[in-house]
Structure 1
Amino acid sequence: MSTALRHAARKSIVLATAAILNLGLTAGARAGETDHPIVTQLWHATYDVQQDGSATETVDLRYQVLQQRAIEGAKTYSISFSTSIQAGEIVEAYTLKKDGRKLPVPPTNYQHQTNDGRKGASPFFSDRTRITAVMPDLEVGDSVHVRYRITEKEPMFPGQFSMAMGYSPFAPYGDARLTVRVPKEMKLLTEAHHVNEQPVVEQDGKRVHEWRYANPNPRRWNEEEDGGLWRRDERPGVLVSTFTDYESIARAYAARALPKAQPTPRIQALAAGIVGAEKQPHEKARLIYEWVSKTLTYGGNCIGIGAVVPRDVDTVLDNKMGDCKDHATVLQALLTAAGIRSEQVLINAGSDYELAKTPVVSLVNHVMNYLPDFDLYVDATAKEIPFGHLPDDSYSKPVIHIGAAKALATTPAQDHRTAAQKLRMALKIAENGSATGTMQVAVKGLAAAQMRAYMRELSAEDEANWVKSTLASAGMKGRGKLQKGETNGLVDTYEFSVRFEIDNYLRGGANGAMFFAPVVGTPHSVMMFAGADEEPVGKRRQQCHGFHSEEVYDIELPATMTLLAMPESVQLKGSIVDYTAKYEKTGMGVKVQRELHDKTATSICTPEVMAEFRKQAAAVGENLRTQVVYKRGVR
């Protein structure tokens, strides 16, 4: 479960508009207290939906500044919208002084910025307009009040409307209201959690839905209680959608996206050049995937319906750039041209591991591909990820297949057998307690790709000082040479080695103790388990995955050094953790052989599984922490 051990739990648990994220999450635990830089006093948002699915969003927002450090950020407020399909305006903005005076933002304090192409040409990346208001004479204790409106000229999906609004349970809110007005005949699915839902009323020929939320005494973050994955029904928020199910989202996306993935003559020729003489379908798929991943860089599409419709493949190829939809579309077109079936799939790019009951488009905000002939999911947008693997946070997640007979599916769990490491260290200890040696490391799986990318990005200066600085981080004074190995390519194996000299390897004087451990950290080090049982077991699910690690240490001792005590050889077998350690004296010193297999079979671990893992890891940690007691003499 190395992910659970290495990474802190995610604390970003809400969907929200920019205003809520920027204002709510900066606030602390209790409204009005001086340890909160900003408090949201009022947030009223109204969505007036038309029959074609377009909507007008009107927001009234007021937040109070309680700390000097928040003044600079609070003095400006911006809205942004797509110029081609939306119109926006800040209707009103003013500083509300502590004494009740209103200081309107003067016309000179507004700034308009619009992304556009040169000489009137259409832009490639973004056509967004940004309007910023600068608040006059804002001081601690004053409030900022803004009213803005954004009107859609064209809906993202004709005849459909969906949205998700979330509030942070850790931030103070005074009066938050969400109102959605839809034509009476428009069917609307809604889902609300930890908010006050008002009775539905009819007004001016529309059906009016309203939800209210207040949080004067916010929750305080507690790692044991709050760290981990939150379910949607645990978070305050509202979901609204005219989509009847996720299959209807798949059909709506397919209608606009799949025509773009049809192979053109240019795609046919490109695919033939990529695969060359290769005949095996799996290898052809790998070659095409690697070409897309390495050739296309990432560039978002913030132009009108480009938020949900891929660019034309020729545009993507000409610029060698595109967003996730563009990567997935080009990959599908190339695979089709090579005779390999593929599907585009929608997935949540955040920490949602269940689909909400109410189908909302923004909750499946990333696109990748599925190759049914190999039962394989791939994500060409996730750079450095080898073919056959996914990013850590894409395993065990629900997905929506586009254009497939069955739309809903789940990505597989990360296979612990694909994550492995072999380490061999030779170390020679001198009479004065210094040491020299070498260490070779071979890594397999996602960690290999991550380590290779890390090594490739090292500057020449960082590379030259890598061994010295890594040793220093462990309290050792030394130097050495890093051999980075092959840092190019997308294969799921990587090897590197280190030569080192350590002046103070033994720091216990004539009598002391030491551990058998690598001199530099590695992705799947067995020593990670030395403190595994000390990690608190949270009350929420965690991301997790297993690995297999083999380590061998050949340690040469000086003739004047005597080992008084060594760890005992052990063999432990459990439902999750298997561990074997063998310690033996040799003619020159000591040989240590360790093998650890974390057999975690899922990518999402319940608190119960984590508790059992900690229990089994405790025995491993005890063996790893056992010190080698030695005595040094003088000839």
Structure 2
Amino acid sequence: MLLLSVLLFCGPALAHEADQDTGTDPAIVIDRHIQHYVVEPSGAYLLTVDAAKTIVEQRAVQEHGQYYISYNKTLDEVVAIDAYTLKPDGRRVALRPDQIKDQQEAASTDAPMFQDTRLKIIVFPEVAAGDQLVVRYTVRRGTPLFPGHFEDLSSSPFYLNKNFVLVYDMPASMPLHADAVGFVPVPLSPRDVVPAGHRRYQWRYAGGGNQRLEADAVSYLDYGKRLAVSTFADYADFARAFRANTLPATGSAAVPSPAIAALARQLTAGLSDARARTLALSDWVRRNIRYVGVYIGPGGVVAHPAATVLDNRYGDCKDHAALLEAMLAAVGIGSTGALVNSGNAYQLPDTPTLGVFNHMITYVPSLDLYLDPTAESTMAGYLPAGILGKPALLLASGSFAMTPILQPERSRTTTWFDIGRDGRSRFKVSKTASGASAEPWRKTVRETRLAERDQFVRRMLQGLGQKGQGVFDAGKVDSPGKDGSDEYSLSVSGSSEHFLDLPGPSALATTYDVWGGLGEAVFTLGQEKERHQAFVCPAVDAEDETGFRLPKGVRVLALPKPTSLMHGGIHYQSSYARRGSAIVVKRRFTFRHGRATCTPDDYRAMQPALERIMRDLRSQVVVSGR
């Protein structure tokens, strides 16, 4: 998965070929990238990479004047590195030993799973536009992640690739299955030398134009050019191997110890309902077991025994799932780990590979309930948005299920402005988040220091083009579960300067987006002029009320017309009314699609409705004072 790491961290993803290439970065050219695995029957391998790229534009020197070799510090050994800068006149500038750095990969410290990696950073000397940067290195993996198996997932970054070849020399006893899109098989030539007892498989990247990655697009791996190879016959075979390899030699990481059983019974005392017991245990794990990076031991990807996780009070996602499974078992509730993607990948290659799975959650079959015990910001009973509508590989059965597409979630915001004759305003903003969105707000506020909350008000006003100050009322920020509430309310009050230009004619905006309000949801959904890629389109249920109390002598010259529309899954209503000296604007926007993602055709169909809503959101109230 080394090349996949380059894709994920070095630039935007690829896309289908289009009439106009809007994505390929001309700043560099990949002259060659030959990636060659020699795999042994144990699943161990030797990887050799021969790469060269030319710096075409000066702006690429800063970003591409170094090369990153990603390796697992427990399983891998970087056994050789040869690199140099080749000048246009043919002069070679050799790499000095001190120009190879070694450090922890920043992304692995926050990764849910499978990225316990370090980086060898090659800093090329004397780099300038026109130079070719050449590197050849070898990595030996002595202990496979899955004994007796091999798998890999590759794609290409957004540059012109002249010669991108992937080679796999496999033992004859280990046939390699492949799902290739945009990669073409390369037949053996008489010059190819294959190790004894091995069979060679090789593919060449087909190249072609690239579309830019659009906002909120699904992962490029869902639709783009990628090569998945694996010795696993199917995903059930993969699940068996994963479960066997992640459990310690004692047999099961999820066996409840006496301490786990006692704690589980204590936490569920008085709760007769199985769902209530399940939620109580999941909430305890997410609040009390600290997340740390993945543990990869001498045997590969391994989960700690649940008793060890409880004693340590930390672990990765596998450890959280193992502890929760053990606690559930202690109170008679069966569960299983489930592998999912926590990013924007919604499809899996036909060939089983670890590349798309990067997270483990828990599934309770008897309740048809999914839980993420690592999600500090997500109350049990809900899932983080990135896991909704995803295929889940259930480890106990090796079968697939689908995480929920929809879950209860609603946002309500009320904003009132009392405007003085000097144009200043006193304001109060009240926000209520319910369902899945309540706990993220509660956690964010709970972790914001008291001294910083009022500063937040000033930043909010600046975002609205206003100057002023105010007070942040955090409301009740206790953890959920004490009163069973999944609703959270907070408010901000204060004053702002130059809110309305008086005494002459002036216009009042009717939309003031505060912390993910209705307007932000609409503009996020409609932020692309056109789309060529499927994109994430979560459900929305938002309601805003904005009121203005006008000073005496100020007349309302014009109010916008109300809007009401229903189109597919979009429902929108707005109204504008006078109440004595006040103006009240009410809006409600809901969106339900039936899937977690939308297609370009879906987007074209919803665009007229979105444009009409955006016009309404930009409408103004015209007033005049004496």
TM-score normalised by the chain length of structure 2: 0.85
Pairwise mapping of residues 360-439 of structure 1 onto structure 2 (< 5 A)?
A: 360-404=353-397, 407-415=399-407, 418-439=408-429
Post-superposition Cα deviations, 1:433-475, rounded to whole Å, max 9, x if no partner, equal: 3222322211113333333333334344532222233222222
Q: 3-state SS of the aligned residue for 1:479?
A: strand
Q: After the TM superposition, which of the residue ranges 240-249 and 530-539 deviates more from structure 2?
A: 530-539
Offset, 1:300: 1.6
What code does the residue aligned with 1:387 have?
A: A
User: CA 1:393 to 1:582, structure 2 compared with 1: closer, same or farther past 3 Å?
Assistant: same
Query: 1:527, 1:73 → 2: CA distance?
Result: 33
Deviation of the 1:479 alpha carbon: 2.1
User: Who is 2:239 aligned against?
Assistant: 250
Q: Give 3-state SS (helix, strand or coil) of 1:99's partner.
A: coil
How many Å separate the matches in 1 of 2:562 and 2:399? 52
User: Is 2:145 aligned against 1:156?
Assistant: yes
Match of 1:503 among 479, 487, 497: 497
Matched, 1:280 2:267: no
1:289-348 Cα deviation digits (max 9, x unpaired):
111111122212353456522123333233322111111111111111122221100112
Cα shift readout 1:396-452 (whole Å, capped 9, x = no counterpart): 111100112x6111112123xx12123333332222332223222111133333333
Distance 1:25 1:629 in 2: 44
Measured in 1, the distance between the counterparts of 2:615 and 2:119 equals: 58
Instruction: Confirm whether residue 446 of structure 1 aligns to residue 436 of structure 2.
Output: yes
Give, as a single letter, the amino acid of the residue that structure 1 aligns with 2:321: A
Q: 154, 160, 168: which is aligned to 1:172? A: 160
1:39 deviates by 3.4
Aligned residue among 137, 162, 187 for 1:199: 187
The 2-side partners of 1:87 and 1:52 are apart by 17
2:111 maps to: none
Q: Distance in 2 between matches of 1:533 and 1:481?
A: 33
Equivalences for residues 140-155 of structure 1 within 5 A: 140-155=129-144
Aligned letter for 1:219?
N
Q: 2:143 touches 2:300 (CA, 8 Å); kept in 1?
A: no
Q: How does 1:48-87 map to 2 (within 5 A)?
A: 48-66=38-56, 71=61, 77=67, 79=69, 81-82=71-72, 84-87=74-77
Change (3 A) 1:77 1:629: closer
Per-residue displacement from partner, 1:333-374 (whole Å, max 9, x unpaired)? 111112222110011233221111111122222111111222
Q: Are 1:37 and 1:67, in contact at CA under 8 Å, matched by a contact in 2? A: yes
Residues 580-619 of structure 1 mapped to structure 2, 5 A cutoff: 580-619=573-612
Tell me, in whole angstroms, the C-alpha distance in 1 between the residues paired with 2:371 and 2:553: 57
Report the alpha carbon displacement of residue 198 of structure 1 after superposing the two structures with TM: 0.9
Question: Equivalent residue for 2:329?
Answer: 336
Report how far residue 18 of structure 1 moved: 4.2
The answer for the alignment partner of 2:285 in structure 1 is 292
Shift of 1:87: 3.4
Q: 1:96 Cα deviation (Å)?
A: 2.9
Secondary structure of 1:260's aligned partner: coil
Q: 2: CA distance between counterparts of 1:273 and 1:42?
A: 61
Spell out, residue by residue over 1:183-211, the C-alpha distance to the aligned partner (whole angstroms, 9 max, x if none).
Answer: 22322211222223112589433211111
Equivalent pair of 1:126/1:302 in contact (CA under 8 Å) = no
1:209 match: 201
What is the deviation of 1:103?
A: 4.4
Determine the C-alpha separation between the residues in 2 that align with 1:350 and 1:479.
38
Question: Which secondary structure state, in structure 1, belongs to the residue aligned with residue 366 of structure 2?
Answer: coil
Decide whether aligned partners of structure 1 residues 522 and 108 sit closer, same or farther in structure 2, where only a CA change above 3 A counts.
Answer: closer
Distance in 2 separating the partners of 1:363 and 1:105: 35
Partner of 1:264: 257
CA distance in structure 2 between the aligned counterparts of 1:533 and 1:104, rounded to whole angstroms: 51
Counterpart CA distance in 1 for 2:532 and 2:563 is: 32
Aligned residue identity for 2:557: L
Deviation at 1:246, TM superposition (A): 0.4
Q: Give the match's secondary structure for 1:441.
A: strand
Contact residue 525 and residue 537 of structure 2 kept, 8 A? no
- Shift in CA distance, 457/164, structure 1 to aligned 2, threshold 3 Å: same
The structure 2 residue matched to 1:219, chosen from 183, 190, 210, is: 210
Name the CA shift for 1:514/1:245 in 2 (closer, same or farther; >3 Å): same
2: distance between equivalents of 1:114 and 1:532?
37
CA distance in 2, matches of 1:114, 1:531: 35
Bigger drift between 255-264 and 87-96 goes to 87-96
SS in 2 for 1:145: strand
Structure 1 residues 11-90: aligned runs within 5 Å: 16-18=3-5, 36-66=26-56, 71=61, 77=67, 79=69, 81-82=71-72, 84-90=74-80
Query: With structure 1 as the length reference, what TM-score do the two structures score?
Result: 0.84
Mapped pair 1:625 → 2:618: yes
- Counterpart Cα distance in 2 of 1:574 and 1:361: 40
- Greater mean alpha carbon deviation, residues 374-383 or residues 314-323: 314-323
Match of 1:10 in 2: none
Describe the shift of the 1:469–1:128 C-alpha distance in structure 2 as closer, same or farther (beyond 3 A): closer
Secondary structure in 1 matching 2:139: strand
> Aligned in 2, Cα 1:128/1:500: closer, same or farther, shift over 3 Å?
closer
The answer to whether the 8 A contact 1:83-1:304 is kept is no
In 1, the alpha carbon distance for the partners of 2:260 and 2:89 equals: 67
CA distance in 2, matches of 1:351, 1:590: 42
CA distance in 1, matches of 2:309, 2:395: 21
Partner of 2:108: none
Alignment match, 1:484: 474
Which amino acid counterpart does residue 347 of structure 1 have in structure 2?
Answer: V
Give 1:69 deviation, angstroms. Answer: 5.9
- Give the 3-state SS of the residue equivalent to 1:373 in structure 2: helix
In structure 2, the residue matched to 1:9 is none
Kept in 2: contact 1:227–1:538 (CA 8 A): no
The 2-side partners of 1:576 and 1:555 are apart by 31
2: distance between equivalents of 1:533 and 1:79?
39
Q: SS of 1:628's equivalent?
A: strand
> Residues 576 and 599 of structure 1 are in contact (CA less than 8 Å); yes or no, is this contact kept in structure 2?
yes
Q: 1:506 to 1:362 in 2, by over 3 A?
A: same
Instruction: Indicate the percent of aligned positions where both proteins have the same amino acid.
Output: 28
Count, aligned residues:
600
